[in-house]
Structure 1
Amino acid sequence: MKKKDLKTYTDKVYKKILLLLSDLRFAIFILLIIAGFSIFGTIIEQNQSLAFYKENYPDSGKFFEVLNWKIIKFFILDDVYKSWWYLNLLVLLGLSLTTCSFTQQLPMLKISKHWRFLYRKQQLRKIDLKIKIKDIDLSEIVYIFNRETYNIFQQGNSIYSYKGIIGRIAPIFVHISIIQIFIGALLGALIGYGGQEMIPKTESFHLQNILEAGYFSKIPIKTSLRVNNFWIDYTKSETINQFYTDISLVNNKGEEIKRKIISVNNPMHYKDITLYQSDWDIIGLRGKSVENEKEVLYQAKKIKTPGGNRWISTLKFNNDVSSSKNILIKGLKKEIYLYDEKGEYLKKVVEGENFEFKGKGFLFNEILPATGIDIKSDPGIPFVYLGFVLLITSTILSFISYSRLWIFRANNKIYIGGSSNRAKISFERYFLKKLGGLKIDE
């Protein structure tokens, strides 16, 4: 193939690709594909272990069981929104909308801003509404439409006017807002990360338990978190009303950057990092013997009961099983329930209260809680939020009708033409109503 022929062939291919990308039907088709795969991301549990998928989506070899764990892993359906093919679909949709905006929407806007004056009756053929009026002064008609906030321009015996051009501009911003939303989604998928930590009260920690991370995400290693305090508010019926964490962001020099009390639905924001209060736990008790005042930490184990979560531990004196006590904790209400080695209830002890058992004194200083913190970093969120605001606003504005009027004198007659991109029947009624006082030439 000659060099000239190759260039001609390449230009044809580029033009075909450009025509395809600029076709709104193609963008809608891609959008439907994205919506379809998003359904998979909603139905199939995301970011679970391989054992979870093998258990819940077994490969039994039956034909109708197409969605098994092998298919899920092969097509990355366990992490749909960060899979390479899903991100490429977003990029393709963004390219299509961008191309459509530059090749169709912007040129149409440019044309709509041009003043187009008409001088002959034949020029009204392609215009929706046409009326011929007996010769009158053009100023009468100008006065009528000037009161209706039309922008009016005159060139000799020809007048051009329009209003509602914002309705012409708004669809362009609809495209821009959708592109911006996709850019935000891509940034979150490529750069964002998320993790979860369970931190004991008064402890400091770095983010280590990463649950999800983008291809280009960087975990901050110079910033640590410190849990200053944790507590729970209970209702009168002794159910949990809310739980709170007093948390601080600390730099590598130990200096506090920011401090806030977070709770459920009241997170802490710092730059592109958000800390959510998600869970809580009890890790143990701190107590000491009254005799030697040696402090001991007793680990607690969580168990699930019909009445809710409970925590159990065992208190032993000098490794003597006969003098051990079983401990039951129902929550952070500073109440500890004691049982003997046979499981018989003995008494309730309040945190900080001395008690004796077989002549030995003991004191529980504190129930040790741990707070569950979800850590999210998504730099694309501002783009997504702003994109949705712009999308809603521009969608509403796009319903404004863009109307144009042409008025000119020819052969001792006044010709009026009108067109609107929306609500054409309503525009026609409005148009005829405004001209009702003039003598229309049949």
Structure 2
Amino acid sequence: MKARRVDFIDRIWGFFTSLRLVIILLLVLSLLSVVGTVIEQNKPLQEYYRFFRPETVELFLKLGLLDMYHSWWFTSCLALLALNVIACTMERYPSIMKGLKTANVVLDEKLEAGLKDPAKIKYHLPAETVEKRVTELVKKIFPAGPIVTETQDARHFFYEKGRYTRLSFLLTHLSILIIFIGAIGGSIFGFKGYVNINEGSTISTIQTRKGENKALNFGVRCNSFNADYYETGAPKDYRSDLSVIRDGKEVLRQTIRVNDPLSYEGITFYQSSFGALPDNVTLEIRGKNDASHGTVVAPVGKQVDIPGSGIRIEVADYREHFHFPDGSEAGTAIGVNIFRPGAEPEGVWIYEAYPEKNNHWGYSFKVKGVKLQKYTGLQVNKDPGVWLVWTGCIMLVVGIMLAFFTSHKKLWIRIGKDRKGRVELTAGGMANKNKYAFSSEVARLFDSFREVS
């Protein structure tokens, strides 16, 4: 029973330390990142309704594809990758610590047998002269002084460089964990949302992706919005002139563009979109027998009376590109709430291009005009973990540079005498990485030893 339990634990440990798990997770995260690039994230919902059918938007919402980087399944992939990083670090930790310990500083026969292509050179010079000239040559590669050990028949010199480059593995893995902690911390303690601001208007609350209204400690005013277009009609550049209002005074003013946001008190406002929303809608209303009930100007978000009917209406929504249930294009549609005496409010869509479809409860509606007002769409982001993410990224770059371009190098030199009483030098070296380059470097050093005279 105990053996089975140990075997099960070994399998779990092997799963979390396997290279296969790393590859699968990186491929999945890469694929998800591509999806997150194709489907723009954290846009106002009306922006998605402009390009996708309503049922498609609802599916995206259920799957979390409109805010996938905060979805449970994306976070689970990150958590699994973090566990993999921790397990791999623990797996390699003993060998890394062993490599950091001071090696055998005496070049004995056992160590010599384990070195690749050690050099043996004999001199007709005093040992002191050989030692002085050889150590001067070694300083060009190993600036730090050697550890000198005297034995009964020789003097031993141990040189070492780059011992702590072995920690690059730990530094790289730690940086990944710090990035994850920063990202998760930003997700928990920060927020992402959006807001549309009409020209000349000021807002002090935003709506988060969770549908919550988040109050700010200040106001943001859109002084003006401008856009430039290519000849094809595609937007070339769009920008918003924003002011931060605190206690009734302007404390900051900045023109923002895409990738040139405004930041204040840890909250960043990105230029995300633009468009026009109705200020009011003019509707011609007819009742039974085509009797006219006149023309009503309905401001957005305010209830107005239908003359002579006892019914009130409210313009609640506006879609520039609406689709019928069968997927066909409906054009501009106005979302209207109808309030009848003694009944619950009901919402209907009124189509500008299809007045014959606008018959509801004995009344027909015809859109006579829509007064639009330009707005700027801002993505709002507060991420207290961003500095942890940046710190982790810097550590990651440093760790990768250390891992690829540095190594732990060791060199042993023994100066003694052979059986004929001549001075004999034995030398050899090793490195944990870039071994071919180091062996070439050591070979050139040994050639310089042979020229000592």
Q: TM-score range by the shorter chain?
A: 0.5 to 0.7
- Residues 1:273 and 2:267 aligned together: yes
1:434 to 430, 445, 450: 445
SS of residue matched to 1:207: strand
Correspondence for 1:371:
376
1:381 aligns with 2:386: yes
Match of 1:133 among 107, 121, 137: 121
CA distance in 2, matches of 1:284, 1:275: 24
3-state SS of 2:177 partner: helix
Look up the match of 2:202. Answer: 204
1:370-426 per-residue CA deviation (whole Å, 9 max, x = no partner) reads 333221223332222232222223322321233211222467343212112333222
User: Of 15, 31, 44, which aligns to 2:26?
Assistant: 31
Moved more, 182-191 or 424-433: 182-191
Question: 2:359: which partner in 1?
Answer: none
1:395 paired with 2:400, answer yes
Are residues 178 and 247 of structure 1, via their aligned partners in 2, closer, same or farther at CA, if it must alter by over 3 Å?
Answer: same
The structure-2 alpha-carbon separation of the partners of 1:433 and 1:91, relative to structure 1 and needing over 3 Å to count, comes to: same
Identify the range of structure 1 (192-201 vs 43-52) with the bigger mean alpha-carbon deviation. 43-52
Report how far residue 274 of structure 1 moved. 0.7
Describe the superposition over 1:220-245 as per-residue Cα deviations: whole angstroms up to 9, x where unpaired: 4352423162253879x999765332
Decide whether aligned partners of structure 1 residues 79 and 284 sit closer, same or farther in structure 2, where only a CA change above 3 A counts. closer
Change (3 A) 1:144 1:43: same
Partner of 2:74 in structure 1? 86
The within-5 A match list for 1:55-66 is none
1:101 corresponding residue in structure 2 = 89
CA distance in 2, matches of 1:303, 1:44: 20
Q: Kindly indicate whether residue 91 of structure 2 is the aligned counterpart of residue 112 of structure 1.
A: no
SS in 2 for 1:416: strand
CA distance in 1, matches of 2:199, 2:38: 37
Match of 1:142 among 127, 135, 157: 135
Checking the alignment, whether the CA contact within 8 Å between 2:414 and 2:426 is kept in structure 1 is yes
In structure 1, the partner of 2:180 is 182
| Contact map agreement 1:228 1:248 (CA 8 A) in 2 | no
Separation of aligned partners in 1, 2:71 and 2:271: 28
Alignment pair present for 1:247 and 2:235:
no
Give the Cα–Cα distance (whole angstroms) in 1 for the partners of residues 416 and 32 of structure 2: 60
Aligned ranges 1:415-426 → 2 under 5 Å: 415-426=426-437
- Flag the 1:257–1:405 CA change in 2: closer, same or farther, 3 A: farther
Q: CA deviation at 1:161?
A: 1.0
Aligned to 1:160: 158
Seen in structure 2, the aligned counterparts of structure 1 residues 24 and 415 have a Cα distance that, compared at 3 Å, is: farther
Cα distance between partner residues in 2 of 1:32 and 1:369: 42
Aligned to 2:253: 260
SS of aligned partner of 1:196: strand
Q: Distance in 1 between matches of 2:275 and 2:21?
A: 51
Q: What TM-score comes out, normalization by structure 1 length? A: 0.63
d(CA) in 2 for partners of 1:29, 1:303: 42
Instruction: List runs of 5+ in structure 2 lacking aligned partners.
Output: 281-296, 301-317, 322-371, 419-423
| Offset, 1:428 | 1.9
Larger mean CA deviation between 399-408 and 186-195 belongs to 186-195
Q: What is the letter of the counterpart of residue 402 of structure 1?
A: H
1:44-63 equivalent positions in 2, closer than 5 A: 52=52
Change (3 A) 1:388 1:410: same
Could you tell me the TM-score, scaled by structure 2's length?
A: 0.62
- 1:61 equivalent in structure 2: none
Instruction: Give matches, 1:261-410, under 5 Å.
Output: 261-264=254-257, 265-281=259-275, 369-398=374-403, 399-409=405-415
Output one character per residue of 1:167-226: Cα deviation in whole Å (capped at 9) or x when no partner: 43333222222222222332344444322222234433233433358xxxx864352423
One-letter amino acid of the counterpart of residue 428, structure 2: G
Q: Which amino acid in structure 2 is aligned with residue 141 of structure 1?
A: V
Give the secondary structure class of the aligned counterpart of 1:123: helix
- Distance in 1 (alpha carbons) for counterparts of 2:29 and 2:279: 51
Following the alignment from structure 2 to structure 1, what is the Cα–Cα distance between the partners of residues 223 and 39? 37
Counterpart AA for 1:154: V
Which one-letter code corresponds to 1:204 in the other structure? T
- Once the two structures are superposed, residues 16-58 of structure 1 have per-residue CA deviations (whole angstroms, 9 ceiling, x without a partner) of 5445434555434433333344344445666777995776699
Corresponding residue for residue 325 of structure 1: none
Asked if 2 retains the 8 angstrom alpha-carbon contact of 1:163 and 1:404, the reply is yes
- Separation of aligned partners in 2, 1:266 and 1:220: 23
SS at match of 2:30: helix
Moved more, 75-84 or 427-436: 75-84
Flag the 1:118–1:174 CA change in 2: closer, same or farther, 3 A: same
How much is the aligned-residue C-alpha RMSD, in angstroms?
A: 4.6
Q: Is the alpha carbon distance of 1:209 and 1:119 closer, same or farther for their aligned partners in structure 2, counting shifts above 3 Å?
A: closer
Which letter maps to 1:434? L
CA deviation string 1:295-318 (max 9, x = no partner): x9999x9989xxxxxxxxxxxxxx
- Per the TM alignment, residue 275 of structure 1 is displaced from its structure 2 partner at its CA by 0.8
Q: Distance in 2 between matches of 1:407 and 1:437?
A: 14
Task: Please tell me whether the aligned partners of residues 181 and 388 of structure 2 are also in contact (alpha carbons under 8 angstroms).
Answer: yes
- Alpha-carbon offset, residue 90 of structure 1: 0.9
Identity percentage over the alignment?
22
Kept after mapping to 1: 8 A contact 2:200/2:222: yes
Q: Tell me which residue corresponds to 1:359.
A: none
CA contact under 8 A between 1:204 and 1:224: conserved in structure 2? Answer: no
